[in-house]
A and B are shown apart, each in its own frame.
Chain A
Amino acid sequence: MDILYLLIPMSAVLVLGILAVFAWALDGGQFDDLEQHGEQIFEPDADPLDRHQAP
């Protein structure tokens, strides 16, 4: 079970890494407006949701 002495510190470091990734996404504004895409369908002059789709 000595492997635990490696795995548990590693998992703690991994947590810090994941927190850093989330911080990057948050700072990039990815969570600023969660309702924006849901409300898009109410805006009459908005672009179609999928511009590449054939009519």
Chain B
Amino acid sequence: MSFPDALAGTRPAAWVDDPLELDVFTRWQKDGAGRRIAESSLRIGGMHCAQCADVIGQSLRRVPGVLDASVSAASHCATVQWDAQLTRPSALVEAVEAAGYEAAPDTAAAARALRKKESRAALWRLFVAAFCAMQIMMLATPAYVSAPGELAAEHKRLLDWGSWLLTLPVLWFSAAPFFAGAWRSFAQRRIGMDVPVAIGIAVAFVASSGAAFDPGGLFGREVYFDSLAMFVSFLLGGRLLEMRARHRAEVSLEDATTRLPQSVMRLLADGTVEVVSAKRLGRGDLVRIPMGQAFAADGVVTEGQTQADESLLTGESRPVPKRNGDTVIAGSVNLQSPVVMRVERVGADTRYEAIVALMRAAKTQRPAVLASADRWASPFLWAVLLLAAAAGAAWSVIDPARAVWVVVSVLIVTCPCALSLAAPSALLAAAGAMGRQGVLLRRLDAVERLAKVQTLFIDKTGTLTEGRLRCVAVKRQDGGDPAATHEIEARAASLAAWSNHPLSVAAREAFPAAGIAWHDVRETPGLGLEGTDDHGCAWRLGSATWAGATEDVGHMQGAHVWLGRDGRPVARFDFDEAVRDDAPAALRALQAQGVRIHLLSGDEPARARRLAAALGLASAEGAMTPADKLAAVCRAQARGEVVAMIGDGINDAPVLAQADVSLAMGEGALIARTQADGVLVSNRLNDAVRARAIAQRAMRIVRQNLAWAAAYNAACVPLALAGWLPPWAAGLGMAASSLVVVTNSLRLSR
């Protein structure tokens, strides 16, 4: 029955040759000689250093038919080009395994390559713009600091030409996205942020070039290459941050979809085992699940007995025993021993896929904050363009020599820099400050909603309570001396040390163990432990009947363990979930700020209500499925409330994605952490209270910034329209206003 025997004669990696799998991680092309060349992406496991990459690369290239192989040590990925007539992907996987590493098809390779390309291009544009801007600033300094007549005309021209040369890469390369964006919105007859930006850049460049090469001509003598380059690099910096946030969101979705095993062991009618792609599974297939693997589909256990960890899917904190005939859920993990299951539902029908789909939907429905900003920006941008055009028309009548400069001044002085930096800079500083308090934010726009939270939904198991059990009471049942209870406790802990059952783990954590030499220790699944001490007494730890007790505890909450000696009960240990130490204080602080707190739990309703009453919460609902929780959050949102959610398990993930702002516990499921806006790294609920205080301060600073930027525009636009503000002053004013905004925001990180 052991797997290597059952698999003898078959190649375990053959499932990757299945066309269903192959197309996901392989791209096809034809070379000059008409051969079909495939390029496959593999994820490599077990890599630690650059040397490993060399070893894997060499062993891949030794496979006949492999044309080229490149292995990245940083991303743990390999890209292999191979001839479809000479080899198969399974040979590649076997070559990597023969070298001592693991390999699996990399299904997300294409999206990742695209993200990498995008992020490199954005960084490259920003660096070119920022670095050239610094150099241009240096060349422009003499003109700013010299007294009239001090700078010789030919030196001024030389500096201008240098600036012009350095502006070329900024204009043609770095600013290209603005021109492309402006062209797109022009083609769609809409106005976007890019339009005035592109016009401002183009006008400033044309006019400055004219001034540099024909001083005193149509465009005067002043050049403003420095303002232009600085302006472009500020804007590109903002876009880079935006792109990073988007990429992170994409990665989290990919992680969520890779939790199920890719290959499974299917039992054939003759009792042999074949390894096939999980996508090949159908209803009625018999599948063997080894210990430690996730169940690939929903189904029924038909052979063997085990325990399954369903905590990530149902919120049930204890391993669930699975015997013949019990149902198992895709995505839960087989903990104890290998079993055989019959597949009942696969693919999109499984509960796991349903949860992933809920999460995806919640994510795309999340109200876009940016949409409202765009609605507001459009009239502003039209006003700027119209003002600039009107000023240009007016001045071409009053004084044609200054008309171009007034237009450039208006376009630059109203540049949305201070306005567009007002919020992101404060949010970024707030995220940094929260990071030092133990709250890692994944999405910056969460700060705003965190400050406004009116309703908090909180999960029970793993969030309000710790994931482990705590002993709350010890009842002696043999009428013995209560003073000797600690000796009984030590004996129980010592016997419990022989088992890994969650209650045994809790028992040995609760009491100091005595050094007792046990003989003939035996564990019977579902009943308990048995052992004999040096005096020949048979001690039993476990369920009531196992220890010889006749109590009925059906009405009592929590979990119970009995210790018995020679068939007579000695003591009963009552266990319950341990509430986190700082939970009561944190919840009181939030309630004092006017936040309504509701408990949502997948656990028994009575238990949830009891905990909520103990903590003074407004309401508690138990036996909630992920869909119920999602519905509760949607109802609150429909009432117009700003909803926060704190949770930890996979079952919370859709709710975390739907809530306006969500925090996950640091020790929670990976998927919950990736769906949440932020992570409480050290699992302290108090950190959430502090994060909220920082968020409220951040919103005050955003309002100050916006007021300042508006005041600046209100003061400077009339000056520019009146022709009293030369473009250099406009550029300086733009930089200074941005600096004021950023400095104000940085107060948050102190």
Write the residues of chain A forming the contact surface with B, with a CB cutoff of 8 angstroms.
1, 4-5, 8-9, 11-12, 15, 18-19, 22-23, 26-27, 29, 31-33, 36, 47
29 A-B pairs, CB-CB below 8 angstroms?
A1-B152, A4-B158, A5-B158, A8-B139, A8-B158, A8-B159, A12-B135, A12-B162, A15-B131, A15-B166, A18-B131, A19-B127, A19-B128, A19-B169, A22-B124, A22-B127, A22-B131, A23-B124, A26-B120, A26-B124, A26-B127, A27-B120, A29-B72, A32-B75, A32-B116, A33-B74, A33-B75, A36-B74, A47-B48
**A residues less than 8 Å from B128 (CB atoms):** 19
6 smallest CB-CB distances across A and B, nearest first, come from: A8-B162, A15-B135, A22-B127, A12-B165, A31-B123, A26-B124
Nearest-neighbour CB distance to chain A for B494, whole angstroms, equals 29
**B120, B124, B139: which contacts A32 (Cβ < 8 A)?**
B120
Interface secondary structure of A, over-half rule: helix
The count of A-to-B residue pairs whose CB atoms sit within 8 angstroms is 48
B residues 115-132 in Cβ contact with A at 8 Å: 116, 119-120, 123-124, 127-128, 131-132
Q: How far is the CA of A35 from the CA of B166 in the complex (A)?
A: 32
Beyond A11-B162, A18-B131, A19-B169: 8 further Cβ-contacts under 8 Å?
A12-B166, A15-B132, A15-B135, A19-B127, A26-B123, A32-B116, A32-B119, A47-B48
Chain A residues closer than 8 Å to B165, beta-carbon distance: 12
Which residue of chain B is the closest to A46 with respect to CB atoms?
B48
Count, chain B residues at interface, CB 8 A: 24
Q: CA of A27 to CA of B123 in the docked complex: distance in angstroms?
A: 11
Neighbouring B residues of A22 by C-beta, 8 Å: 124, 127, 131
A50 to B: closest C-beta gap in Å: 14
Which of chain A's residues have a CB closer than 8 A to the CB of B158? Answer: 4-5, 8
When chains A and B are docked, how far (Å) is the Cα of A8 from the Cα of B159?
7
List of A residues within 8 angstroms of B62 by Cβ: none
Does residue B155 face the partner (Cβ distance < 8 Å to A)?
yes
Q: Which of B116, B127, B155, B169 contacts A1 (CB 8 A)?
A: B155
User: Residues of A contacting B135 with CB < 8 Å?
Assistant: 11-12, 15
- Report the Cα distance A19→B174, complex, angstroms: 13
Question: Taking CB as reference atom, which chain A residue is nearest B73?
Answer: A29
B443 to chain A, nearest CB (A): 15
For the complex, what is the distance from the CA of A33 to the CA of B138, rounded to whole Å? Answer: 32
Would you list which residues of chain B between 129 and 167 have a CB under 8 Å from chain A? 131-132, 135, 138-139, 152, 155, 158-159, 162, 165-166
Which residues of chain A are within 8 angstroms of B131 by Cβ–Cβ distance? 15, 18-19, 22
Q: Report A55 CB to chain B, min CB distance, Å.
A: 19
* Chain B residues closer than 8 Å to A4, beta-carbon distance: 155, 158
**Quick one: closest A residue to B128, CB to CB?**
A19
Alpha-carbon distance A32/B115, docked complex (angstroms): 10
* Docked complex Cα distance between A5 and B162 (Å): 10
B613 to chain A, nearest CB (A): 36
Q: Which residue of A lies closest to B673 (CB)?
A: A42
A35 to B74, CA, bound (A): 12
Contacts of A11 in B (CB 8 A): 135, 138, 162
Measured CB to CB, the closest approach of chain B to A33, in angstroms, equals 7
Residues of B within 8 A of A47 (CB): 48
In the bound complex, residues from chain A placing their C-beta under 8 Å from that of B116 are 32
Q: A residues within 8 A CB of B48?
A: 47
**Complex: how many Å from CA A15 to CA B116?**
26
A16 to chain B, nearest CB (A): 9
In the assembled complex, the Cα of A17 lies from the Cα of B208 at a distance in Å of 26
